[in-house]
């Protein structure tokens, strides 16, 4: 999701000298990924990264470029890592869960289904089992960060297992979970807040930048993390997915209610990001420049203020210091701290563009939704980005889209969805063409995965988003009440 960096990434054991040998020059146009130089997991996402403590050389810009280069994998090692969040509620009152209920849920899942507990200052804050992680967002949204998997059938099985375990324990506690992009009924003051030092630091920074707390407290998303084989492959996938992210936002738009009534948006979750610290969010137009590559993304991230450092199980407030300042030693209150590659990994996790580069690419444009929607999102992007023919077709499609057009789609789609006018017609027609490429790409994978697109195929054909279906129910059968939604959208 959202405001909190993920501690999950590609599993790796590295030292800085190994990283440096992977990149002969930071000025090299396209980096080759020499896997033999780095001892790293070939999995895609969601294992805790660890680095050799033996490295003593100062961190350099070249190391930061090599960090991204180390994510390169051969095609047979590409994986699918899905993350999704759910909003919990008390089934009797329809109010947000109490913190005692969420801790009881985590303890219950741990005890009944053999998950390891993740603790902070004596309090349970998450769970871990193999390469899967369950964590809490700031407003107690429950997130599963799934294992890196080969097929969408495995993604479906992982999702069903997770929802079964959550529901089994939750029913005994009188709580349920919604598949939607934004908490539909309660006021912001009703939110149950997870008190973690890192959350407080990030929220404080966002408050100073003019952003509100809604993103951390009431939003839910579904994301997929996908691999790249080289810097060139990363560039192609980044450009295609960034340009098409508003298409995904429209197809998956599912957050039309706030405070018990329509909010004027089809995806208020997406809209809220528009006003959130523009330095670290948005459509980052430099991705479409000829100079784009690992080094250009590093330059971008170096000049974004850091939120915190993690030292000795504590979080230190960076007070607006950029990573470039940190790297060069131009600091005051943290002058005694030396930058590490873990600091870099944490820092890039507090940057939230519509597509984010880590040691994989993270698709960030979709609202949370139903069980079918949670599988459709990875299916959509796997079909487009893991098939060379479909990827090239969509790159040709977006080749003449201007910066202004991409920004217009980003701004307007949360309001008008597939009815947004784009060039000579509604965006619905573009979505249909893109969805065809996703389906064709999945067919060429030969895993019989095209059925996972059924939920969004209907959306593209009719032009009616999930949010618009909910609004029709609200104004019809539900008698202008959001209360029936809690039954309709409960997992």
- Would you call 299 helix, strand, or coil by DSSP? helix
Q: Among 352, 442, 386, which residue's Cα sits nearest to residue 233?
A: 386
Q: What is the rounded distance in angstroms from the CA atom of residue 219 to the CA atom of residue 327?
A: 34
Q: Among 79, 80, 91, 88, which residue's Cα sits nearest to residue 109?
A: 88
Tokens read off for 267: 């995806």
Are the CB atoms for 433 and 422 separated by under 8 Å?
Answer: no
Q: What is the rounded distance in angstroms from the CA atom of residue 260 to the CA atom of residue 481?
A: 7
Integer-rounded Cα radius of gyration of the chain: 22
Tokens read off for 403: 């910066």
Are the CB atoms for 254 and 369 separated by under 8 Å?
Answer: yes
Q: What is the rounded distance in angstroms from the CA atom of residue 357 to the CA atom of residue 355?
A: 7
Q: What is the rounded distance in angstroms from the CA atom of residue 301 to the CA atom of residue 365?
A: 20
Q: Quick one: CA dihedral 358, 83, 210, 285, positive or negative?
A: positive
Residue 473: how many other CB atoms lie within 10 Å: 15
Q: What is the rounded distance in angstroms from the CA atom of residue 256 to the CA atom of residue 188?
A: 16
Are the CB atoms for 421 and 434 separated by under 8 Å?
Answer: no
Are the CB atoms for 142 and 153 separated by under 8 Å?
Answer: no
pTM: 0.90
Cα of first residue to Cα of last residue in the chain, in angstroms, is 19
Q: What is the rounded distance in angstroms from the CA atom of residue 215 to the CA atom of residue 343?
A: 24
Secondary structure, 3-state, 201-263: HHHHHHHHCCCCCHHHHHECEEEEEECCCCHHHHHHHHHHHHHHHHHHHHHCCCECEECCEEC
Mean pLDDT by 10 residues, the chain (491 residues): 38 42 41 36 38 64 98 98 98 96 97 96 94 96 98 98 98 98 95 83 77 80 98 98 98 98 98 91 98 98 95 90 92 86 97 98 98 98 99 98 98 98 97 98 98 98 98 98 98 97
Are the CB atoms for 415 and 271 separated by under 8 Å?
Answer: yes
Tokens read off for 381: 């992007």
Q: Among 382, 383, 380, which residue's Cα sits nearest to residue 455?
A: 380
pLDDT of residue 55: 52
Give whole-number Cα distances, 237 to 40, 94, 132, 342, 355, in Å: 22, 41, 25, 25, 10
Are the CB atoms for 69 and 38 separated by under 8 Å?
Answer: no
Give whole-number Cα distances, 169 to 98, 106, 137, 163, 316, in Å: 15, 9, 19, 10, 36
Q: What is the rounded distance in angstroms from the CA atom of residue 159 to the CA atom of residue 189?
A: 31
Q: What is the rounded distance in angstroms from the CA atom of residue 20 to the CA atom of residue 39?
A: 13
Q: What is the rounded distance in angstroms from the CA atom of residue 71 to the CA atom of residue 35?
A: 9
The full set of domains in the chain, from first to last, is 61-304+351-489 (3.30.590.20)
pLDDT of residue 336: 87
Q: What is the rounded distance in angstroms from the CA atom of residue 451 to the CA atom of residue 133?
A: 27
What is the rounded (10 degree) CA torsion for 63, 64, 70, 71? 170
Tell me the pairing of strands 50-51 and 13-14: parallel
Q: Among 109, 397, 387, 101, which residue's Cα sits nearest to residue 240?
A: 397
- Would you call 30 helix, strand, or coil by DSSP? coil
Are the CB atoms for 223 and 361 separated by under 8 Å?
Answer: no
Tell me the pairing of strands 142-145 and 80-90: antiparallel
Q: What is the rounded distance in angstroms from the CA atom of residue 454 to the CA atom of residue 375?
A: 10
Are the CB atoms for 262 and 379 separated by under 8 Å?
Answer: no
């Amino acid at each position: 999701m959202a405001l909190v960096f993920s501690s999950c990434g590609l599993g790796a054991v590295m030292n800085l000298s190994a990283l440096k040998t992977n990149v002969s020059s930071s000025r090299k146009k396209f980096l080759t990924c020499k896997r033999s130089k780095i001892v790293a997991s070939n999995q895609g996402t969601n294992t805790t990264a660890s680095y050799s403590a033996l490295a003593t050389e100062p961190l350099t810009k070249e190391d930061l470029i090599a960090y991204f280069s180390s994510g390169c994998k051969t095609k047979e090692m590409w994986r699918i890592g899905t993350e999704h969040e759910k909003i919990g509620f008390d089934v009797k009152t329809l109010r947000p869960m109490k913190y005692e209920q969420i801790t009881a849920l985590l303890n219950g899942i741990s005890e009944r289904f053999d998950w390891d507990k993740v603790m902070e200052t004596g309090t349970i804050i998450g769970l871990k089992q193999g390469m899967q992680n369950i964590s809490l967002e700031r407003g107690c949204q429950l997130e599963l960060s799934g294992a890196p998997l080969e097929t969408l059938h495995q993604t479906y099985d992982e999702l069903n297992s997770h929802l079964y375990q959550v529901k089994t324990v939750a029913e005994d506690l009188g709580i349920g979970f919604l598949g939607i992009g934004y908490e539909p009924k309660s006021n912001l003051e009703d939110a149950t807040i997870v008190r973690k030092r890192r959350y407080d630091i990030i929220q404080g920074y966002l408050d100073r930048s003019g952003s509100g707390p809604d993103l951390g407290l009431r939003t839910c998303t579904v994301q997929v993390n996908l691999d790249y084989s080289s810097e060139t492959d990363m560039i192609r996938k980044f450009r295609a997915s960034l340009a098409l992210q508003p298409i995904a936002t429209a197809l998956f738009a599912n957050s039309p209610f706030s405070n018990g009534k329509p909010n004027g948006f089809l995806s208020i979750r997406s809209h809220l990001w528009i006003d959130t610290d523009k330095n670290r969010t948005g459509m980052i137009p430099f991705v479409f420049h000829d100079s784009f590559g690992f080094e250009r993304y590093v330059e971008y991230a170096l000049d974004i203020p850091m939120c915190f450092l993690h030292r000795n199980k504590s979080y230190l407030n960076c007070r607006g210091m950029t990573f470039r300042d940190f790297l060069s030693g131009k600091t005051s209150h943290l002058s005694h701290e030396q930058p590490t590659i873990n600091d870099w990994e944490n820092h890039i996790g507090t940057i939230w563009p519509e597509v984010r580069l880590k040691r994989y690419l993270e698709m960030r444009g979709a609202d949370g939704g139903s069980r079918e929607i949670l599988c459709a999102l990875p299916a959509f992007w796997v079909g487009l980005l893991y098939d060379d023919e479909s990827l090239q077709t969509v790159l040709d499609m977006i080749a003449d889209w201007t910066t202004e057009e991409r920004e217009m789609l980003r701004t307007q789609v949360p309001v008008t969805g597939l009815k947004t006018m784009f060039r000579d017609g509604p965006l619905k027609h573009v979505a249909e063409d893109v969805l065809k490429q996703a389906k064709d790409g999945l067919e060429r994978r030969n895993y019989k995965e095209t059925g996972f697109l059924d939920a969004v195929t209907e959306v593209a054909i009719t032009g009616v988003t999930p949010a618009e279906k909910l609004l029709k129910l609200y104004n019809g059968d539900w008698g202008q009440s959001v209360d029936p939604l809690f039954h309709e959208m409960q997992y």
